Structure 1
Amino acid sequence: MTSPFLLRLTNTLAYFFFLGSGIYSVAGPDGFPDTYAKHETYLTPAPWAFAIWGVIHFLFFGFIVWQWFGDSNEVVVNAFGSWFFIAALCTSLWSTLWATDHLFLSLILLCFASASITLIYHQLSIRPAPSFTQSLFVHAPISLYHGWLVYVIWLNILALFIRTGSDGHKPEHPGLLINVVVGLILAQLTATAIAYTEYKGAVGDVPGAFTIAWALFAVSARQPAAFIKWASFACGILVTIYAFVPLVRGRPLTGNAGERESLLHAPNAGGSRAVSSEEAIV
């Protein structure tokens, strides 16, 4: 078994490298404050969307502190393992590749990062948080990180395959094909947010759904094309409302567990039991 101390140390170093690369990509000498606008697409969000990283980094800092104290071996070894290091490294390198126009390589790194975080997400889903602190600083940042990566993957795909004009601007009235493609992506993001709620049982996954809603509202705020603007806004409203349904209803959501897991691409191995309301996790 991998040494818990070594994993904690690796997580700590990975976090500060992850944080430093994020700050450098925005505030460095070659930084680009509106990072996602480096390659304009029909999913490019408003500049304030980047603020989600401030929340993610803050919560992950809480995790880094938490892992060094108390009984965290089970989570550090069996839930996080080396996957957080891989995800942090890939995301950090993505920023460089995105900024230097290596869009295909950046997409590959995003897929590796997303797969790593998905594995952690699944492992945490079968390990209910026994305290609010663990919910906030262990489960919540993984949900936020996973949701944002899902959105950025689609952003990277559009940047790779749907080019804008030579001046970097998009037509305000895209053709039917582009509207259909973007509409399908918005539907997939909405389905993913609903899957977060379904996958986490009785209380859903508010942080994960919030992240998708944040992205959808940011897209709506930036895009001038009427269909994309209002479709993304409507999807954001739907995601926000649905995320709170389990809390209002106070009972497990209906639906087949296999269907829930297939949306997240994270099979629930080992036949784990359903999470009860007393074992609610973020």
Structure 2
Amino acid sequence: MTVTSQRSALTDTVRSAVVALLAVAQIVVSGVGGIGGVGDSVGDVARDYPTPLLAAGWAFAIWGPIYLGFLAYAVYQLLPAQRRRAVHRETGWWLAASAVLNMGWILSFGARWLPLAEVMLVGLLAVLAVVFGRLSRTPASGVVERIVLRGTVALYTGWVSLATVLGTAATGVWAGLPGDGALATVAGVVVLVATAAIVGWVLISGTAVVGYAAAVVWGLAGIALNDRPGAVAAAAVLAIVVALAATARRVSTAGNPKRAAWG
């Protein structure tokens, strides 16, 4: 083995180990931060800065499948046969960064540093968007990769796309903007309409769109069913219809429907 290949193998091993450690660490931080073990619980802080876009508590249960999927991916990329694959080299460090940013926003939000938490959340979305885009360049090598890597990234990206919107609204309330009333309702409707347009574009042009759409629809349903103003609930339902229609169109018109749907 040449020196170059030895260095490459060492880098692959280090990257895989870092991803695995961070996958476990973010579950621990989420559990501790979620119940207020460090600072206040995420739910308590969110309820203290209510907006028309606040989703029902049950909607946040989606973090469970996301964390389990990420953990499964971490184990998968740690296998000797996987470490040197190009797909992991192109996405592994980015996903490691996503775990750091995720822990950062949880701790910042629990400490009520909402602007910092929002910066972390936007950074998390940007990192996931890079991974989501890179995975769209090539098809999955099999069912396992399609589920634990592409499915997890799609679900994660879809949820964080919506969570960023919710976080921005809460940060606005923290900064002094109204969280209720006619003005807040109008702003919520405008944001949801814009979200529907952006989500529709992503779904029409992306791959693994089923996972992405599932997360977005789940979050929008959480908004619509959380006793929101009628106009906001209607806008959330409209966004759901747009997401479902865009997903159906993408899969039905794709040259490779399986790849369009699942990656």
Moved more, 41-50 or 218-227: 218-227
TM-score by length of 2: 0.85
Tell me if structure 1 keeps the 8 A contact 2:52–2:185: no
Q: Which residue of 2 aligns with 1:216?
A: 220
TM-score by length of 1: 0.79
Moved more, 191-200 or 58-67: 191-200
Count residues in correspondence.
249
Higher helix share: 2
In structure 1, how many angstroms separate the alpha carbons of the residues matched to 2:146 and 2:27?
21
SS of 1:34 mapped into structure 2: helix
Deviation at residue 230 of structure 1 after TM alignment? 2.1
Q: Which residue of 2 aligns with 1:76?
A: 88
Match for 2:25: what amino acid?
A: F
Q: 2:158 aligned to 147, 156, 167, which one?
A: 147
In structure 1, how many angstroms separate the alpha carbons of the residues matched to 2:95 and 2:175?
34
Q: 1:113 aligned to 124, 140, 151, which one?
A: 124
Tell me if structure 2 keeps the 8 A contact 1:164–1:170: no
Q: 1:27 aligned to 31, 35, 41, which one?
A: 35
Q: Which residue of 2 aligns with 1:130?
A: 141
Tell me if structure 2 keeps the 8 A contact 1:196–1:209: no
Structure 1 residue 12 and structure 2 residue 20: aligned? yes
In structure 2, how many angstroms separate the alpha carbons of the residues matched to 1:103 and 1:163?
7
Q: 1:231 aligned to 224, 229, 235, which one?
A: 235
Residues 155-183 of structure 1 show CA distances to partners (whole Å, capped at 9, x for unaligned) of: 12111223599xxx964xx21x3233212
Match for 2:89: what amino acid?
A: V
Deviation at residue 120 of structure 1 after TM alignment? 1.0
In structure 2, how many angstroms separate the alpha carbons of the residues matched to 1:164 and 1:108?
14
Distance 1:128 1:183, change over 3 A: same
Residues 181-205 of structure 1 show CA distances to partners (whole Å, capped at 9, x for unaligned) of: 212211222223222322226xx60
Distance 1:227 1:163, change over 3 A: farther
Q: Which residue of 1 aligns with 2:77?
A: 67
In structure 2, how many angstroms separate the alpha carbons of the residues matched to 1:206 and 1:193?
12
Q: Which residue of 2 aligns with 1:197?
A: 203
In structure 2, how many angstroms separate the alpha carbons of the residues matched to 1:43 and 1:58?
27
Structure 1 residue 184 and structure 2 residue 196: aligned? no
Tell me if structure 2 keeps the 8 A contact 1:130–1:279: no
SS of 1:127 mapped into structure 2: coil
Gaps of 5+ in 2: 1-7
Residues 118-159 of structure 1 show CA distances to partners (whole Å, capped at 9, x for unaligned) of: 111111111210212111111111111112222122212111
Residues 243-265 of structure 1 show CA distances to partners (whole Å, capped at 9, x for unaligned) of: 23333x3x23xxxxxxxxxxxxx
In structure 2, how many angstroms separate the alpha carbons of the residues matched to 1:87 and 1:60?
11
Structure 1 residue 101 and structure 2 residue 99: aligned? no
Q: Which residue of 2 aligns with 1:86?
A: 97
In structure 1, how many angstroms separate the alpha carbons of the residues matched to 2:174 and 2:230?
19
Tell me if structure 2 keeps the 8 A contact 1:193–1:208: no
Tell me if structure 1 keeps the 8 A contact 2:22–2:99: yes
Tell me if structure 2 keeps the 8 A contact 1:194–1:209: no
In structure 2, how many angstroms separate the alpha carbons of the residues matched to 1:64 and 1:216?
29
In structure 1, how many angstroms separate the alpha carbons of the residues matched to 2:151 and 2:104?
23
> What is the identity percentage for the equivalent residue pairs of Structure 1 and Structure 2?
18
Deviation at residue 237 of structure 1 after TM alignment? 3.1
Q: 2:211 aligned to 203, 207, 211, which one?
A: 207
Distance 1:194 1:29, change over 3 A: same
Tell me if structure 2 keeps the 8 A contact 1:206–1:244: no
Structure 1 residue 51 and structure 2 residue 61: aligned? yes
Q: Which residue of 2 aligns with 1:156?
A: 167
